[in-house]
């Protein structure tokens, strides 16, 4: 027997623990070298844990939902065993006691058809000493209803056994108001993921520690749209990626940050830190929550470089493969709510940055030009800023500089 240990990968210096998601293999099953066994979720990213060798997974030390630390033992693999052999004994009590997500805990392993018990059903099961998972659910998504429990009681379902040596009369009799029967209005309580909890923490921190104001402006996107239409085919042929709007917004933002460096600065105690580089965070929605990967040295990137990197970030966010180093730092952020149809918003600053640009949906609107009402594709821009270090003058003029760069993209070529 040759045993190889599976351990938690190294975490970032700022991360002390992580949560196991779901094992993709069971004890006794064969695994291949580098095959992903489980994912580990931190408050920033989700890390994959590959098999260090080919063999048979003989023992799982930490179950789904367990809280773990770097280099902690997760499982064991026998490189000489044959798949299908008897699985190892269950995980030790200490591992079994590790907290599991509520959604997983609510799904009883003893009955694949038993689901989450509705409040009235749960109370009725408790009143009749019926163990969790003993009643199959017929409700939506396998939920256990009050009728399911009444049927089980009528059919003679066995109550949970009373511990030996404890007189029945000595057990406390608990009474209380009956839980309302929600009927077709189910509820489900699910704990936040580490990433979602971290996002919530940082947003509250931002609102509590920054003097946030938001300034607005509107931009005529016709010049940008005309450029995209004129050069789209040649751009795709040359670079293998579509020319989107975000590269223009990034370029316009960098253009304004160069003119007003305080917008690209951050607060450190009583000091203002002016950054001589432009690392632009791009807010990206993922199945596990909002993430903000960073475009390093965006001022040195071409339109094609920006578009390729944003596409890469989007795919990685979807797959949960963004690395910690890709989301660390940043001097200014851009949030594109227009992707989802947002017309207006007041974005929240991403600490320790001091400003963020909110981009919205481009819609045809009636505007006045030279005394005439005309139809133009308009986009409302919103820039939230930390008023502790950024005055209204710099904020407004900074947003105007972005507007002017978008309405006359030639400014980006000549840096004017």
Query: For this structure, is 391 an active site residue?
Result: yes
Phi and psi (nearest 5°) for 201? -60, -45
Q: Give catalytic status of residue 387 as yes or no.
A: yes
Q: Is residue 260 scored above 90 in pLDDT?
A: yes
Asked if 95 and 62 touch (Cβ cutoff 8 Å), the reply is yes
DSSP calls for 38-52: EEEE-SS-EEEEE-S
Q: Select which of 71, 233, 271, 391 is catalytic.
A: 391
The answer to whether the predicted template modeling score (pTM) of the entire model surpasses 0.75 is: no
The DSSP line for 42-82 is -SS-EEEEE-SSSEEEEEESS-TT-EE-TT-EEEEEETT--
Residue 245 reports pLDDT greater than 70 = yes
Q: What is the pLDDT of residues 121-180, one digit of tens each?
A: 776 777 777 777 788 887 666 777 777 777 777 776 655 544 444 444 444 454 555 555
Q: What distance lies between CA 174 and its chain's CA centroid?
A: 41
C-alpha–C-alpha distance, residues 235 and 212, integer Å: 39
pLDDT over 90 at 367, yes or no: yes
What pLDDT, in 10s, does the model give residues 46-57?
Answer: 888 999 999 999
What domains, with CATH codes, occur in the chain?
3-103 (2.40.50.100), 107-159+176-187 (no CATH), 194-414 (3.30.559.10)
Following DSSP, what letter does each residue of 386-407 receive, concatenated? ETTT--HHHHHHHHHHHHHHHH
For 285-310, the pLDDT digits (tens) are 877 777 899 999 999 999 999 999 99
Burial of residue 354 (number of CB atoms within 10 Å: 0-12, 13-18, 19+): buried
Q: Using only C-alpha atoms, what is the Rg of the chain?
A: 28
For residue 381, count CB atoms less than 10 angstroms from its CB and return exposed for 0-12, middle for 13-18, buried for 19 or more: buried
In the numeric block, the tokens 């851009």 are attached to 334
């Amino acid at each position: 027997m040759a045993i190889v240990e599976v351990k938690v990968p190294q975490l970032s210096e700022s991360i002390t623990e992580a949560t196991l998601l779901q094992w993709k293999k069971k004890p006794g099953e064969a695994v291949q070298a580098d095959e992903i066994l489980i994912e580990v979720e931190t408050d920033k990213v989700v890390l994959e844990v590959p098999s260090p060798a080919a063999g048979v997974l003989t023992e799982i030390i930490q179950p789904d939902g367990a809280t773990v630390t770097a280099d902690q033992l997760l499982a064991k693999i026998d490189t000489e065993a044959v798949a299908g052999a008897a699985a190892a004994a269950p995980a030790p009590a200490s591992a079994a006691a590790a907290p599991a997500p509520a959604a997983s805990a609510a799904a009883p392993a003893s009955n694949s058809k038993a689901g989450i018990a509705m409040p009235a059903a749960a109370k009725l099961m408790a009143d009749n000493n019926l163990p969790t998972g003993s009643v199959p659910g017929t409700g939506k998504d396998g939920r256990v209803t009050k009728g399911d429990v009444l049927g089980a009681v009528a059919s003679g379902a066995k109550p949970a056994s009373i511990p030996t040596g404890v007189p029945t009369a000595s057990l406390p009799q608990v009474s209380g108001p009956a839980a309302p029967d929600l009927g077709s209005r189910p509820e489900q309580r699910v704990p936040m993921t580490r990433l979602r909890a971290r996002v919530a923490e940082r947003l509250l921190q931002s609102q509590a520690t920054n003097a946030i104001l938001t300034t607005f402006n509107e931009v005529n996107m016709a010049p940008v749209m005309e450029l995209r239409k004129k050069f789209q085919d040649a751009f795709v042929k040359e670079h293998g990626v579509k020319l989107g709007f975000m590269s223009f917004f990034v370029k316009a933002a960098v253009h304004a940050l160069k003119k007003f460096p305080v917008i690209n600065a951050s607060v450190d105690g009583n000091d203002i830190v002016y950054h001589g580089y432009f690392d632009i965070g791009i807010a990206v929605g993922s199945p596990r929550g909002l993430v903000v990967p960073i475009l390093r040295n965006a001022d040195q990137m071409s339109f094609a470089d920006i578009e390729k990197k944003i596409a890469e970030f989007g795919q990685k966010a979807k797959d949960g493969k963004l690395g910690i180093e890709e989301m660390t730092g940043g001097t200014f952020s851009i949030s594109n709510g227009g992707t989802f149809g947002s017309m207006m918003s007041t974005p929240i600053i991403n600490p320790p940055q001091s400003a963020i640009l909110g981009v919205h949906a481009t819609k045809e609107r009636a505007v006045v030009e030279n005394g005439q009402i005309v139809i133009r594709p308009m986009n409302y821009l919103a820039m939230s800023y930390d008023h502790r270090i950024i005055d209204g003058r710099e904020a407004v003029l900074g947003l105007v500089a972005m507007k002017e760069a978008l309405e006359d993209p030639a400014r980006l070529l000549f840096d004017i």
